Structure 1
Amino acid sequence: MPWSILSKGAGMTAAVVEEFADLVSQTVESRRKAGLKSAIYEAARLLGLTERRVRACLYREIRNVTAAEWLDVRARFASHLEAEARRHAAEADLLRARIEALRNEAA
């Protein structure tokens, strides 16, 4: 059953569509260093969407979202955030090790 802003309960539905578009947009923005076209491609691949669907979310042209699509994107986005957290933790560990090495050399 597709959720649409034209269906019954439009307040809740509009919020779901907006959250969906926000998750997709955040994914694009996190990958934007290489350029917008590349970021859209990577976000589509990561979230399991078409590039056109990602563009529709990015430019707020999206009209409806199925429950399955919404849940799938939320799960994939959560996995994306977990991977980013692991990457940042590894970078922090590396920086701590470099700082410690510099301190030991100076002593």
Structure 2
Amino acid sequence: MSVLTSDHTALRPLGFAWLALLGLTALSLGLGIHWHGQGGLPLIVAGILWLKGWLVVRYFLEVGSVHPFIRRVLLAFIAITPLCLALTTLFAAQFARWASL
């Protein structure tokens, strides 16, 4: 019985991470519905996106137990998308000029 209890306890952080991901997804949906078109919303979404990526990498991909190179690649990967979203929000006109033919 103690083995079952210890296994159940070991899965508890994964359950909390999963609930946090569900909560952040619901928060994103609610923000999108109520603040659609607001100027600062993409920056908030970028923060939520980074936090969700960090939760996945930390709890489900177990970034703490991998080689440091892989850890850096994963952390850079979860930083790139929110960073691009924030830069696109802050410098939309410049990106549009660069992208136009």
Q: Same fold (TM over 0.5)?
A: no
* TM-score of the two chains, using structure 2 as the length reference: 0.33
* TM-score of the two chains, using structure 1 as the length reference: 0.31
The structure that has the greater radius of gyration is 1
Structure with greater helix percent: 2
Structure with greater strand percent: 1
